[in-house]
Amino acid sequence: MPAAALRHRNLPHLLLRARETLMAHFRPLLAEQGLTEQQWRILREIVEQGPLEPRQLCEACSISSPSIVGVLARMEETGLVTRERMAHDQRRVKVSLTPRSRRTAQKLIPLIEQRYQTLEAALGLRSIQEVYDALDALLARTPRADPGAD
């Protein structure tokens, strides 16, 4: 029996391939600093927004709640972040950068910006902006999937 014909290209797979192609430009920089991609996403988010709660980091960094527990524990063990209870609600925790992670971020930021400039030179600033615009629109307009729907 022949398989059903698919009319659409595999958009999630194309996005994954695009991500992997782009990350190949940035992974060596992260590896030189001893960071994983998840750790860098967390550091970058805190650099840009200031201290955040783990649930905020889950959302902003696209890291699941069970995963972030282990990532933050390892980051705290290696001196990249501190976690402290909030004075007004002891059940809540805020995650902050350490002086070490601030130095790491300050080393990485110009190198990462350099890689973006290289990509802009190769692809064109207009093309890059069109990708940003298309992805922003896709994220804003795509309805959330119902986890209970099959």
Dump pLDDT digits (tens) for 120-135. Answer: 999 999 999 999 999 9
pLDDT, average across residues 84-110? 92
The answer on pLDDT for 150 being more than 60 is no
Full residue range of the structural domain in which residue 89 is found: 17-140
Q: Rounded CA gap, 133 and 21, in Å? A: 19
Dump pLDDT digits (tens) for 34-58. Answer: 999 999 999 999 999 999 999 999 9
Residue 145 has what pLDDT? 82
Q: What's the CATH number where 126 sits?
A: 1.10.10.10
Work out the pLDDT band at 112, boundaries 50, 70, 90. Answer: very high
Q: Rounded CA gap, 85 and 137, in Å? A: 37
Q: Would residue 61 count as lying in a domain?
A: yes
pTM check: above 0.85: yes
Q: Would residue 1 count as lying in a domain?
A: no
Q: Would residue 102 count as lying in a domain?
A: yes
Q: How many C-beta atoms lie closer than 10 Å to residue 43's C-beta?
A: 23
Q: Would residue 95 count as lying in a domain?
A: yes
Q: Would residue 149 count as lying in a domain?
A: no
Q: Would residue 146 count as lying in a domain?
A: no
Q: Would residue 8 count as lying in a domain?
A: no
How many structural domains is the chain composed of?
1
Dump pLDDT digits (tens) for 10-19. Answer: 999 999 999 9
Q: Rounded CA gap, 116 and 66, in Å? A: 31
